[in-house]
Structure 1
């Protein structure tokens, strides 16, 4: 089978279509999983930004509370160092961690994902908001620790509270801008996910429809026409031919049906010709013209046996569709393949005629065929069972070595009885006329 036949075969097309659908569904599944994972990551980033806003508000609230309730003695001051200063540094550490994650684009600690390609890729608006927050936080944090001082045992908490209250709006605006940018970006990405899912669904539907169309025009429609052809032949239209189209298997089926139809039509014509009555030359001419390609012969003739069963002669013969001149030469019968075929009353296949003639010079008639260029032959005996007055043999010969292959020998064997009956009747008429 050639590459084109394999590509057009039904098995290949169905396999390719099935694999295509599987790949599409697998891609759709991976896309859905990735979109779901990224949406979770988007929501987590918005939540992280919201935590920054909350932390900024808590820092501001604690600073206002500290300013309103400033300590008046050392025990109260050291209590605030343990509480307020600890909370303040905790919030600062949270800001440091989140801002650093945003700047590096590494959210693995905050948003665990199974695969790297599922990590979110931030938009340009979010990137600008992150840079603005990073610059704001860097300045705000530096001023805070400058106000606190280098002495971590006795930090200047009142100065720190004043800085927090004075610069709260700057830090709050930066965190709010980042949160809003993340929300807008998340909404945009969600719309893209919905559009991608709809586009993927449309592609899957189109591929499925395309496969159905291909299945209809390449398989179902040709198969229906072939079935209709079967019905026409079953109704008696033996000459009907169905167009060869569709997939390789359907084309093979249609080709086999057409060959069957041709053979049925030829056999129908042969039977009709026999019913109408034909002389021997007319019957051989019909077979030579109509059955030559089907049976694969180049020469066809009828050999009569004399009353003494000693000799044989060619009553009539046709070569390449044309009648041969009358030949009344006598050929030896005893000890030849003609005698064997008559004795067995069964078709005899004579392969490698040249070697047979070289091995046995008594095969005079076979030598005559070899002289005509024949290399392979089949002897079909006509005996008393076919109601011939004298025995006769119908001979099919071809120039091609091993030209009568298994399929042609099987076909000839299947129609042998019909041919022998036909030739027996015609040969009887010919002998009576002679």
Structure 2
């Protein structure tokens, strides 16, 4: 699961999800602003139509006051024409006001408190206006008091028109504000998309391309003979796993080739052990490394050479029991063994005195490499102060190197006098 969280695929998927969320979110936001702007323009058109109707109604009233009929014939004509036009303007104003109220109710995004209040005041004032106009015209539809009605329109319509004009200005300001928001949102969306894209490109360059180049460089260094070259690991993704595998391969290659080169040269056992300790350190970090010469019985041995992280190497030149260390009781058949928890091992194998002694000295895990030839037997012991310090790859490598190490060390043991040596790290 941790690998999945750090994997390149997971990072790319996360980046795509972020880009999708940003794009879709900005698109939805812009769409919302666009719909709000369209709704405001629609309502603004209705308010402007209301203003036009109010102005026409005022103009009609003032015209009749200035040109009122002076005889019965003209009055009859005005009843047929003026009253019909006047009532038509009032009906249009009334219908437009109701349509405006429905539009406001249908669009919650534009129904702010000030706007709703303004329309409510206009609706109340218009209701009073209609009532007063009908009162001035009188109850007789055939002989209405046209001049009274015209004077009422001339005196009261300007107040209605002023409220309508205030609504027009309020809607115009809100509409202009929405237009600016939509424009700024569009620019912001473009900038955010560019920033996200730039971040993605930078991540790809530094997080992928540069690391691939580093891998290529490492391969070229090893190909040119720089065995043991270590490349930076970086993140724990697929490229990081590749770097770890490459570093392990490079270290193992250096260890194998260095040991082969040294063991082919005639040397003594002490020098061979020093070389082994030096070359194995980068690949198998250890706090205590010792070479034990095993007795013919395979049950015990003497710690001939050792190196440790402390000033004094423990157990040097001491005879130690090897019982209980391996699954096979016959040392000649034993294979490389990893003891991840020395304390637990001593509990389960009470006869394992070497494991108990290492645990007493503070070491918690050990890697045991038996070396068997027909003439010589030895045991390499890698000990570490941390539990489970050795991995399966190290166990497999040392198990495969054991025959070569056994033959080389056995040959060098023959050319050296048996004398203890103290090796300081």
Which residue is 2:209 aligned to?
Answer: 220
2:60 touches 2:86 (CA, 8 Å); kept in 1?
no
Matches within 5 A, 1:129-144: 144=133
CA distance in 1, matches of 2:216, 2:412: 43
Matches within 5 A, 1:4-403: 14=12, 16-56=14-54, 59=57, 72=73, 83=84, 86-87=87-88, 89-91=90-92, 93-94=94-95, 97=98, 107-109=101-103, 112-113=106-107, 116=108, 118-119=109-110, 144-145=133-134, 147-149=136-138, 155-164=144-153, 179=168, 182-183=171-172, 186-187=175-176, 189-246=178-235, 250-251=239-240, 253-292=242-281, 294-295=283-284, 296=286, 298-303=288-293, 305=295, 314=302, 316-320=304-308, 340-344=329-333, 346-347=335-336, 354=346, 358-359=350-351, 376=366, 378-384=368-374, 390-396=375-381, 398=383
Cα distance change, pair 81–368 in 1 and its aligned pair in 2 (3 A): closer
1:9 touches 1:249 (CA, 8 Å); kept in 2?
yes
Secondary structure, in 3 states, of the residue corresponding to 1:44? helix
CA distance in 1, matches of 2:326, 2:163: 111
Give, in angstroms, the shift of residue 380 of structure 1. Answer: 1.6
1:316 touches 1:326 (CA, 8 Å); kept in 2?
yes
Which residue is 1:414 aligned to?
Answer: 397
CA distance in 2, matches of 1:368, 1:170: 106
Give, in angstroms, the shift of residue 229 of structure 1. Answer: 1.8
Gap regions ≥5 residues in structure 2: 418-425
TM-score by length of 2: 0.69
CA distance in 2, matches of 1:161, 1:422: 122
1:353 touches 1:366 (CA, 8 Å); kept in 2?
yes
Stretch deviating more after TM superposition (34-43 or 227-236): 227-236
Give, in angstroms, the shift of residue 299 of structure 1. Answer: 3.9
Cα distance change, pair 203–332 in 1 and its aligned pair in 2 (3 A): closer
CA distance in 1, matches of 2:322, 2:163: 118
Secondary structure, in 3 states, of the residue corresponding to 1:243? coil
Cα distance change, pair 374–86 in 1 and its aligned pair in 2 (3 A): closer
Give, in angstroms, the shift of residue 52 of structure 1. Answer: 1.6
CA distance in 2, matches of 1:333, 1:93: 108
Cα distance change, pair 327–144 in 1 and its aligned pair in 2 (3 A): closer
CA distance in 2, matches of 1:249, 1:334: 43
Cα distance change, pair 429–34 in 1 and its aligned pair in 2 (3 A): closer
Cα distance change, pair 200–274 in 1 and its aligned pair in 2 (3 A): same
Give, in angstroms, the shift of residue 45 of structure 1. Answer: 2.0
Query: Residue by residue, what CA displacement relative to the aligned partner does 1:257-279 show, whole Å, maximum 9, x if unpaired?
Result: 43443333233322222233332
2:105 touches 2:111 (CA, 8 Å); kept in 1?
no
Stretch deviating more after TM superposition (225-234 or 81-90): 81-90
Cα RMSD (Å): 5.3
CA distance in 2, matches of 1:149, 1:344: 126
Secondary structure, in 3 states, of the residue corresponding to 2:185? helix
1:59 touches 1:91 (CA, 8 Å); kept in 2?
no
Gap regions ≥5 residues in structure 1: 102-106, 385-389
1:38 touches 1:120 (CA, 8 Å); kept in 2?
no
TM-score by length of 1: 0.68
Query: Residue by residue, what CA displacement relative to the aligned partner does 1:7-27 show, whole Å, maximum 9, x if unpaired?
Result: 987567545544432332233
Cα distance change, pair 36–402 in 1 and its aligned pair in 2 (3 A): closer
Cα distance change, pair 355–383 in 1 and its aligned pair in 2 (3 A): farther
Q: In the comparison of the two structures, how many residue pairs are matched?
A: 407
Cα distance change, pair 120–29 in 1 and its aligned pair in 2 (3 A): farther
Give, in angstroms, the shift of residue 48 of structure 1. Answer: 0.8
